[in-house]
Amino acid sequence: MKTELLMHYNTYIPGRLLIMGAFITLLLSSCRTTRTPHYNFQELARAAIRLEMDIDEKDNHALYVESSKWLGVPYRYGGTSKRGTDCSGLTYSIYKKVYHKKLQRSSEDQRTEDCRKVTKRNLKEGDLVFFHNGKKKRKASHVGIYLKEGKFIHASSSQGVIVSALDEPYYRRCWMQGGRISD
């Protein structure tokens, strides 16, 4: 009788452990450490064509797809929508959608309160780029989002939302700093 009870006890517990182990393994194998939205090829191709740049596998696809949707939006002082936006409204809106971060609403406040300084040669995609207007050289009057290869997206007061190059004479002359948003 003692042997019967012992055998029953030994087979019952390992069976339960085996089932629990299989369940935990299944549960853990379905977990992912990062959650990257998948964009279809056509959406990425459209974004690449609109932005006039290659979008690589390592690039932040969400940033490029969202940025491309803003191209051509007219400039409107104080605006934050696709009916019209100003430069800080564009950075505010894209950051909210892509990075789920709420930025300040003026370019100077974004520069001083939302990010840390980054040199031009250390810019990474998603960094902010700040410019002065030539008169007040210590205060940011314009902001954009760095994409790559020296290009950034911004809301121009005369052309609306466009992609420009940092090495254009105006942006070279009025460059202030890059900024990386704090985590």
Q: What angle do CA 93, 99, 105 make, to 5 degrees?
A: 35
**Annotation says 115 is catalytic:** no
Question: What is the C-alpha to C-alpha distance for residues 29 and 22, in angstroms, rounded to an integer?
Answer: 11
From 61, 87, 115, 132, the catalytic residue = 87
Same domain, yes or no: 151 and 66: yes
**Tokens 């809106």, residue located:** 93
Same domain, yes or no: 87 and 10: no
Same domain, yes or no: 29 and 70: no
Query: Which whole-number Å values give the CA distances from 163 to 68, 88, 167, in the listed order?
Result: 9, 15, 12
Residue 44 contacts residue 65 (beta carbons within 8 Å): yes
Residue 113 contacts residue 104 (beta carbons within 8 Å): yes
From 61, 115, 132, 154, the catalytic residue = 154
Q: Is residue 153 one of the residues assigned to a domain? A: yes
pLDDT of the residue at 37 = 59
Q: Is residue 77 one of the residues assigned to a domain? A: yes
Section 167-174 average pLDDT: 97
Question: 4 is written with which tokens?
Answer: 């019967």
Q: Is residue 50 one of the residues assigned to a domain? A: no
From 61, 115, 132, 142, the catalytic residue = 142
pLDDT digits (tens, 9 = 90+) for 11-66: 454 554 444 444 444 434 444 434 455 668 899 999 999 999 999 999 999 999 99
pTM greater than the 0.75 cutoff: yes
Q: Is residue 51 one of the residues assigned to a domain? A: no
Q: Total domain count for the chain?
A: 2
Range of the domain at 88: 60-181
pLDDT digits (tens, 9 = 90+) for 106-134: 999 999 999 999 999 999 999 999 999 87
Q: Is residue 55 one of the residues assigned to a domain? A: no
Beta-bridge mates of residue 118: 178
**Annotation says 87 is catalytic:** yes
Q: What are phi and psi of 171, to 5 degrees?
A: -70, -30
Residue 177, classed as helix, strand or coil, is: strand
Q: Is residue 49 one of the residues assigned to a domain? A: no
Q: What is the CATH number of the domain that holds 64?
A: 3.90.1720.10
Same domain, yes or no: 91 and 138: yes
